Homo-oligomer: A and B are copies of this chain.
Amino acid sequence: MTSPISVVFHSGYGHTREIAKAVAAGSGGVLLAIDEQGELAPEGWAQLDASRAIVFGSPTYMANVSWQFKRFADASSAVWARQGWKDKLAAGFTNSAGINGDKLTTLYTLFSLSQQHGMLWAGTAMPPSNTKAALRDDLNYLASFAGLMTATPSDASTDEMVAGDLATARAFGERIAQVVGRIG
């Protein structure tokens, strides 16, 4: 009696965790945290095996996923060897300080990981908010399609994250749940 959706993420300073929580709230997914050594508990791996959808999340550090997230990805080679995630749905999100930065590179990394595993991929499917009247707190103000992007200033605490980003994260989670419902 668990959720068919897992949200597996690494967070270095807690901001990506807040985004993960919002994605989990929107999707009804189970949160699985990769620890500071890049490890995921055996129960976490079992939960991923049992999931129909896996949402991957990582901060963007030095132009890509954190090394802890990558260590998790490398460890998933054992799953790949038995094609354990094949045909599951995948999606991804990332947070960093800069408005752009290399967040799209991070999303490509998450996408490419999913493709090696033979998973399907779902993005945000959200129109951007990009007119003169656009506000930072609008849904998908960051105008991302391949996955969820959020930006938290480098000196902001986890209490100071952008409300619109958290709302976008929740809407993204809802989107993932819809797709899971459809593809069974």
Binding site for B on A (CB under 8 A): 38, 61-68, 70-71, 73-74, 76-77, 80, 83, 86-87, 97-105, 108-109, 111-113, 115-116, 118, 120-128, 130-132, 134, 141-146, 149, 151, 153-156, 160, 179, 182-184
Contacts and interface: CB of A to CB of B under 8 A. Distances in A.
Contacts of A156: 132
B115 A64 contact: no
A128 B83 CA distance: 12
A125 B132 contact: no
Given A104-B100, A105-B112, A70 B65 contact: yes
Contact of A62 (B67, B73, B97, B146): B73
Contact of A63 (B61, B97, B112, B183): B112
A166 to B, nearest CB: 16
B67 A67 contact: yes
B100 A105 contact: no
Contacts of A87: 125, 182
A182 to B, nearest CB: 7
A115 B123 contact: yes
Contacts of A109: 63-64, 105, 109
A14 to B, nearest CB: 16
Contacts of A184: 182-183
Nearest to A151: B130
A121 B121 contact: yes
Contacts of A126: 118
